[in-house]
Amino acid sequence: MTIENKLKEKIDEIMGDLELLVGYSPSALPLKVNPAFIEKKEETGSLVFNKMCINNLASYIYDLSKSVKGTIGIVLKPCDTRSIIQLASEELIDLKKIKMIVPGCSGVLDYKKIQKHVGGEKIISCKLDGESLAIETISQKHELKAGDFYADKCYWCQVHDNPAHFDEFIENDQKLDIEPREKYADIDAIEGKSIDEIMQYWDEQFSNCIRCYACRNICPLEICRDRCITNLDEPYWQSQRINTEEGKFFQLIRVLHLAGRCTECGECERACPRDIPLSKLMKKSAQITEKLFEYKTGEEPDKKPPFLTFKDVEKNIKEENLS
């Protein structure tokens, strides 16, 4: 029995207790899936769960938990549960109201990587059979190996078959079978450059930013909504001009807002229409919080996030003395 069928069976079983179920449904576009919001038991047949389910459905949960009175069921990949746990640790959502339905994950494909590989041509159809991926574009057919096109986070995933927190866990017979990669390899590559080269690298990247705010809007943890400081007149933090400096400043607002909170789901980078490597910015901040405060985001619902608390003596902080 496929994981999709097992998932549907489980959902049918518990659907009676739920007011709303958030899951994945098929999309008209190849390589993509849509979010589905299901209220009636009869509609669960349209649910899917496969390697295209890269979206993090936790992005919807903050707003839904405000508007839905009853229990919300939500289909989450094991890595996505971290976003929910993080929101709960900040007391932004109530875990009792949420039922996390977690199917085991065998990795998700990053359609942006595939799109890039086929030269940006429109993809008409795709077929995934085990590890072989057949892609048909308007001009030609490609036979690809799925192993090269997983989302970045899959290559260093630790939780694909053992999520720390869940309400329902569904074992997946198909295991994540890809060559693991070093999580911070791309960070180290940037840090290996000289300080001027780093500045230049980011200037090039941020010159692409059109401040569409897609990264902000999709983020499961950026729940500031209309109170985002980029929208304020007083203080006037950010001008409307679109240029490198403003793009950089906007991204640093995001970095600082998400410091010690980001669960590295990679949604910002996926949503970015200009392919700015936003998850690198987030990874670096995760690396620092891990080092300084020994805090891993999205794993401990009862622990306070590092910037909402302090210790008298910080053993990992070495203060410098200029006098």
Residues in contact with other proteins by the rule CB under 8 A: 187, 190-191, 195-196, 198-203, 229, 237, 245, 248-249, 252-253, 255-256, 259-260, 281, 284-285, 288-289, 291-293, 306-307, 310-312, 314, 317, 319-323
Nearest Cα residue to 187 out of 120, 133, 116, 264: 264
Q: Which helix (H) or strand (E) holds 67?
A: helix 61-67
At 282, which amino acid appears?
M
Q: How far is the CB of 234 from other proteins (least distance, A)?
A: 15
Look up residue 6 and give its two tokens: 């097992």
Please count the other Cβ atoms lying within 10 Å of the Cβ belonging to residue 218: 18
Report phi then psi at 260, rounded to 5: 75, 10
CB closer to other proteins, 110 vs 152: 152
Mapped onto helix, strand or coil, the DSSP state of residue 143 is strand
Quote the distance between the C-alpha of residue 99 and its chain's center.
Answer: 19
CB of 253: closest distance to other proteins in angstroms? 6
CB-wise, 178 or 187, nearer to other proteins? Answer: 187
Identify which of residues 130 and 310 has a Cβ nearer to other proteins in the complex.
310
Nearer to other proteins, 2 or 307 (CB): 307
State the Cα–Cα distance between residues 277 and 80, nearest whole angstrom. Answer: 20
Q: Residue 25 or residue 244: which is nearer to other proteins going by CB? A: 244
User: What is the Cα 180 distance to its own chain's centre?
Assistant: 19
Cβ pair 81, 166 in contact under 8 A: yes
Least Å from the CB of residue 190 to other proteins = 7
CB 200 → other proteins: shortest distance, Å?
A: 7
The DSSP code sequence of 89-139 is: HTTSS-GGGEEEEEE-----B-HHHHHHHTTTPPEEEEEEETTEEEEEESS
Report the nearest approach of other proteins to the CB of residue 323 (Å): 4
Q: CB 85 → other proteins: shortest distance, Å?
A: 21
- The smaller minimum CB distance to other proteins, of residues 13 and 203, is found at 203
38 or 276: CB nearest other proteins? 276
The residue type of 112 is K
How near is the Cβ of 87 to other proteins at its closest, in Å? 21
CA angle 268, 112, 270 (to 5 degrees): 5
